[in-house]
Amino acid sequence: MPSSSFLHSILLVSTLCFSGTLAGAESDFDWRKLHASKTLHWTPCYSAPLQCALLQVPMDYNAPQNEVTASIAIVRYPSTSPKSQYRGPLLFNPGGPGGSGVDAIVGAGAQFAMVFGEQFDVVGFDPRGVSYSTPTISFFKTEAERRFLIPSATNVLYSSFNASSSSLADTYASMQLLGQLAIANDPNGYLQHMSTDNIARDMLSITEAFGFEKLQYWGVSYGSVLGATFATLFPDKVGRLIIDGVEDMNAYYTANFTNDMLDTDKSMDTFYSGCAQAGPQACAFHAPTASQVAANLAALTASIKAQPIAVLTPQSHGILDYVFLRNAVLDALFDPYNSFAALAEGLAVLASGNATLLYAQNEVPTFECDCTVPAPKFHENNFEAYMAIACGDAVPVNDTLAQLQQFYEDGLKVSASFADLLLTTRVLCAGYKIRREGKFTGPVGAKNTSFPLLLVGNTFDPVTPHANAVKTSLLFPGSAVLTQDSVGHTTLVATSDCTFSYYRAYFVNGTLPAPGTVCSVDAELFPSSDPTAANGTAKRTTESLDDIKIREAASRIGSVVRKVLRRAL
C-alpha cells in the first residue's frame, strides 16, 4: 500500500494544535486511579476546586442488570452557593462527536461558573468511549498501527474530492478498510453501544446521580444533536437546555450533511468582502473588490495544486499542497475573528512564493510515535470516536461510488466552495458497518418538553447554518431561537455580552429571549490597525467590574472550547 497517498486520502478528524494551558492540566491527573461506581465519589483533581468521579453506567440500557458496564469520566467545578440556593449540575458538551467535556471544564470551569451562575455545579463529562471514559473506542491493535493509518499529527482535517481524479475512490477504499478494522478489533461488541441515544441516557444517569430529576445542559455543534436527542427521548426530563451551532437533525441521522452547508459560501464571501473593505493595512491579501480577492485566491489555489511546496521550519517539515491550503482556508471560516487577518497574511506571503508562514500557522509537531504502546492510548481516540458515534448513529450508507459522485455533484449546488471537503463525511460513513438494532435514528422532536429549549445560531456559520436552528425549533413547540450576528462556528467565536446575558437569564431565571432577538458581537473580522478608529475600549468605560469580568470569562470559555472542538472535529 502506498503510504503517503493513503494517508492523504483519509478524512482526518484528529489532533491539530493542542497545547498550552490545557495540555499541561491534562497530564496532572491520572483517571486510572479512580474506581467507577454507581454513585458519585468525588476526588480532588487537576487544580482546586475541581473534583473528579467515575460513574458506572450500563453498557446496554436494555439489559441494565448485565455485568458489562461503561465508566463515564466526570469533572465538576462545584457550586459556591449556600445549600438553599444550590441548583444542581449543569452539563456541557463541546461537540465532535468525540470532544472531551472534561478538557473543557478543566480549562475553563471557573469561567463557566462565573457566566452561568455559582448556583450550579458546572459539569464536564467525556461521552462513553471518548477520551477518559471507558471502554475506549479503538480500531487498532497498537498505537503504531493507529498512527500509521490515522496520523494525529497532521494539518489536514478533511480530504478533498477535488484533489485528484481518484480522490473519491481512494477515500472510499480507505474508509472501507477502517470500517473493517473497527469490526476486527471489537470482539466484545462494545462499539454498537457507543451511540448518541446511549450518551443521552448517560446524561440522565449523571443528573440522577447528583440527586436531580431534570437535565440542565449547554451543548455546541454535535452537542446540539445530543441535546435534541435527549429532549426527544426524555421530553419530561428537560430542566434547561441550550443548543448552539445547531446541526440539521435529519442530515445527521442520515449521514447526509448537505443541509449543513447552506451558509458555507456566505461565510467564505465575508472573507472576500471583508478583505476588500478593510484595506491593505488590515488585510494583507487585499484587492479593491471582493470578486478580485476571490479570483486571486482561486489563482493561488490553482498554482499550488499544480505545484505543491516543500517546507522546513525549526519545528517540523511538510508539504503545502492543495488539500493543506483548502483546509487552512476552511479552518479559518470556523473561527474568523481570530483567523482572517492571519490567513490573509499567510496567503499574501504564499502568493509572493514563500510558503513558510501559511505552513507555520497550521503547523503541528513532526510525527513521532512510541511503537511499543498497545492501542488504545488513553485520551487519544478522536477519529475513532467520531466515526463510531457519527456513523454508527446514522442509517447505513450503501451508496455505490457512482452515487457518491452524484451526491458530491449535487452538493456543489449548495456549496460550490467547500462541498469537496465537507461532504467527504458521507464517504467515511459508507465504510462503517456497526449499528445496534433498535437504536434511535430519529425523527428528532417532541410536542411538549418539560421546559422550553433555547436554540442559538450565528448569522453565517460555515457548518451549522442559521436555518438549522429555526428548523429544529419547529420540532420543539415552545422553544425559542436566539440569533448572534456573527460569522463562524457557534456563538463562541466572539464575545457578546448580549448572548451570554441571555444564557445566564435562561439558566438562572428560566427567561427566554423575545422572538427575533439578535445579539451583536464585540469583534471585527479584520481589526483596524488605525489607532484613531473607534474601538471597544471607548464604549466600555461606563461598565461595571462585573460586566468586565463576565466578558473576560466568556472570552476564556470561547478560546478553551474552540481548542477542544478543533481537536475533536
Ligand X SMILES: *[C@@H]1O[C@H](CO)[C@@H](O)[C@H](O)[C@H]1NC(C)=O
Closest CB to ligand X among residues 84, 537: 537
Segment near ligand X (CB under 6 A); pick from 55-63, 225-233, 280-288, 394-402 = 394-402
Question: Binding residue for ligand X (CB under 6 A) from 448, 474, 543, 552?
Answer: 448
Amino acid of residue 507? F
Q: Stretches 18-26, 49-57, 122-130, 393-401: which one binds ligand X (CB under 6 A)?
A: 393-401
Nearest CA to 195 out of 104, 130, 140 is that of 130
Q: How far is the CB of 497 from ligand X (least distance, A)?
A: 12
Q: Which is nearer to ligand X, 188 or 352 (CB)?
A: 352
Q: CB of 131: closest distance to ligand X in angstroms?
A: 31
Nearest distance from C-beta of residue 460 to ligand X, angstroms: 19
Residue among 37 and 511 whose Cβ is closer to ligand X: 511
Q: Residue 39 or residue 398: which is nearer to ligand X going by CB?
A: 398
DSSP-based three-state secondary structure for 73: strand
Q: Is 287 near ligand X (CB under 6 A)?
A: no
Binding flag, residue 439, ligand X (CB under 6 A): no
Is there binding between residue 443 and ligand X (CB under 6 A)? no
**101-111 burial string, b = 16+ CB within 10 Å, else e?**
bbbbbbbbbbb
Could you give the 3-state DSSP secondary structure of residue 242?
strand
Question: CA dihedral defined by 472, 476, 482, 488, rounded to 10 degrees?
Answer: -20
Closer to ligand X by CB, 144 or 345: give it. 345
Q: Which has the closest alpha carbon to 246: 260, 267, 257?
A: 260
Whose Cβ is closer to ligand X: residue 384's or residue 420's?
A: 420
* Minimum distance, C-beta of residue 327 to ligand X, in the bound complex (Å): 13
Q: Let me know how long the chain is.
A: 569
Who contacts 545 (Cβ-Cβ below 8 Å, separation ≥6)? none
Query: Pick from 90, 87, 105: which is nearest to 49 by CA?
Result: 105
Q: Which residue type is seen at 64?
A: P
Is there a contact between 384 and 145 (Cβ–Cβ < 8 Å)? no
Shortest Cβ distance from residue 415 to ligand X (Å)?
9
Span of 5-13, 79-87, 281-289, 535-543 interacting with ligand X by CB under 6 A = 535-543
Tell me the closest approach of the beta carbon of residue 369 to ligand X, in angstroms: 29
CB of residue 477 to ligand X, shortest distance in Å? 8
Three cell numbers, residue 200: 443521552
C-alpha cell at 408: 458530491
Site for ligand X in 74-133 (CB under 6 A): none
Does residue 302 touch ligand X according to CB under 6 A?
yes
Under a CB-based contact definition with an 8 Å cutoff, are residues 375 and 142 in contact?
A: yes
Examine residue 534 and tell whether it contacts ligand X (CB under 6 A). yes
Per-residue interface string for the shown chain with ligand X, residues 413-432, x marking contact by CB under 6 A: -------x------------
Cβ neighbors of 24 (< 8 A, separation 6 or more) are none
Which is nearer to ligand X, 402 or 538 (by Cβ)? 538
Is the CB of residue 379 less than 8 Å from the CB of residue 5? no
| Smallest distance, ligand X to C-beta of residue 312, A | 11
Q: Which is nearer to ligand X, 21 or 250 (CB)?
A: 250
Q: Is 307 in the site for ligand X (CB under 6 A)?
A: no
**To which H or E segment does residue 219 belong?**
strand 215-220
Residue with cell 485566491: 297
Radius of gyration of the chain (CA): 23
The Cα 122–Cα 108 span in angstroms is: 10
Q: Please report whether residue 48 would count as binding ligand X according to CB under 6 A.
A: no
Nearest alpha-carbon partner for 123 in 50, 196, 195: 50
Among 27, 532, 541, 542, binds ligand X (CB under 6 A): 532
Provide the H-helix boundaries in 434-514.
466-474, 497-509
Q: How far is the CB of 236 from ligand X (least distance, A)?
A: 5
Q: Which is nearer to ligand X, 266 or 305 (CB)?
A: 305
Burial, 517: exposed, middle or buried (Cβ in 10 Å; 0-12, 13-18, 19+)? middle
Cell triple for 250: 435529519
Residue 70 or 519: the one with the smaller Cβ distance to ligand X is 519
Q: Which is nearer to ligand X, 140 or 451 (CB)?
A: 451
**CA triplet 358, 569, 362: central angle to 5 degrees?**
10
Distance of CA 360 to the CA centre of its chain: 23
Dihedral through CA 24, CA 26, CA 28, CA 29, nearest 10? 180
Residue span binding ligand X (CB under 6 A) among the ranges 74-82, 252-260, 365-373, 486-494? 252-260
Closer residue to ligand X in complex, CB, 82/353:
353
Site string for ligand X, 138-177 (x = CB under 6 A): ------------------------x---------------
Residue with Cβ nearer ligand X (30 or 409): 409
Total of residues contacting ligand X (CB under 6 A): 29
**How distant, in Å, are the alpha carbons of 60, 394, 398, 408 from that of 433?**
19, 10, 10, 21
| Shortest Cβ 301–ligand X spacing (Å) | 7
292 binds ligand X (CB under 6 A): no
> Hey, which residues between 487 and 526 contact ligand X (CB under 6 A)?
504-505, 508-509
Decide: is 481 part of the binding site for ligand X (CB under 6 A). Answer: no
> Residues 248, 471: contact at Cβ < 8 Å?
yes
Phi–psi pair at 243, nearest 5 degrees: -120, 135
Give me the 328-367 binding string for ligand X, x by CB under 6 A, dash otherwise: ---------------------x----x-xx----------
Q: Name residue 277's amino acid.
A: Q
Q: Residues in the site for ligand X, rule: CB under 6 A?
A: 162, 236, 256, 258-259, 302, 305, 349, 354, 356-357, 395-396, 398, 407, 412, 420, 448, 450, 504-505, 508-509, 531-532, 534-535, 537-538
